[in-house]
Structure 1
Amino acid sequence: MRKAGHRTERMSAGVVADLGLHAMALPFETEPVPVVLAWHQRYDDDRTHAWLRDQVNAAVRQRFPAQD
């Protein structure tokens, strides 16, 4: 079983460092929390909105590659 916090740790590392915070592991296992990109259906066929969604998806995939 993959630890749910691994990706969270990677995602928060920059913010933690920038703000001088300390991150600690939870003392128990947790289920993964999905991260989703949602929009109103009226934007499904909007080319500008589709471009923005593609940019966000590409940036997230580049920064946090799948580890399956």
Structure 2
Amino acid sequence: MRGPIDTALHALGRHRQVTATVPSMTAAAVLALEDVVLVSMPGLLATHLIARGLPLRQHPLPFDVPPIDIAIHWHQRLDADRPTRWLRTLIRSAVPDVPPHRI
């Protein structure tokens, strides 16, 4: 339960107490609704949730964290599948700076 945030905090002489890990950002957002819970999540997601009425407050981290890699994978038999191809095209248009061979 340690990662780049913990490394950056350690460099500042600080630490955090991790009380839970969850399988998705959606679950993390639900936890963030609790008064005593801080959740790290992508700023774009936090902005999206706040714009849709979730009573969250967004604060930037006081340090830089390295970018994370996000990838999608599919079985070879779905290469020519029209719905899957449509989805990959949609993802490419939403994330234009990802090299096409990575999607």
Classify the TM-score, shorter chain: 0.5 to 0.7
More relative contact order, 1 or 2 (CA 8 Å, 6+ apart)? 1
Structural RMSD (CA): 2.2
Are residues 1:17 and 2:59 paired?
Answer: no
Q: CA deviation at 1:43?
A: 0.9
Q: How does the TM-score come out when normalised to structure 1?
A: 0.55
Answering whether residue 69 of structure 2 is matched by residue 51 of structure 1, we say: no
**Structure 1 runs (4+) greater than 3 angstroms displaced:** none
2:61 corresponds to: 26
Q: Deviation of residue 53 (structure 1)?
A: 1.4
Q: TM-score, normalised by structure 2?
A: 0.41
Provide the residue aligned with 2:12 in structure 1: none
Q: CA deviation at 1:54?
A: 0.8
Distance 1:28 1:43 in 2: 41
Structure 1 residues without counterparts, runs of 5 or longer: 1-7
Distance 1:15 1:35 in 2: 20
SS of equivalent to 2:84:
helix
SS at match of 2:49: helix
Provide the rounded CA distance (Å) in 2 between the counterparts of 1:41 and 1:32. 28
Percent of pairs identical after alignment?
A: 33
Correspondence for 2:70 among 35, 47, 55:
35
C-alpha separation in 1, matches of 2:68 and 2:90:
22
Stretches of structure 2 that go unaligned for 5 or more consecutive residues are 1-41, 98-103
Partner Cα distance (2:73, 2:66) in 1: 21
Q: Deviations over 1:19-66 (max 9, x none)?
A: 1211111222210012323222221222331122112322x14xxx65
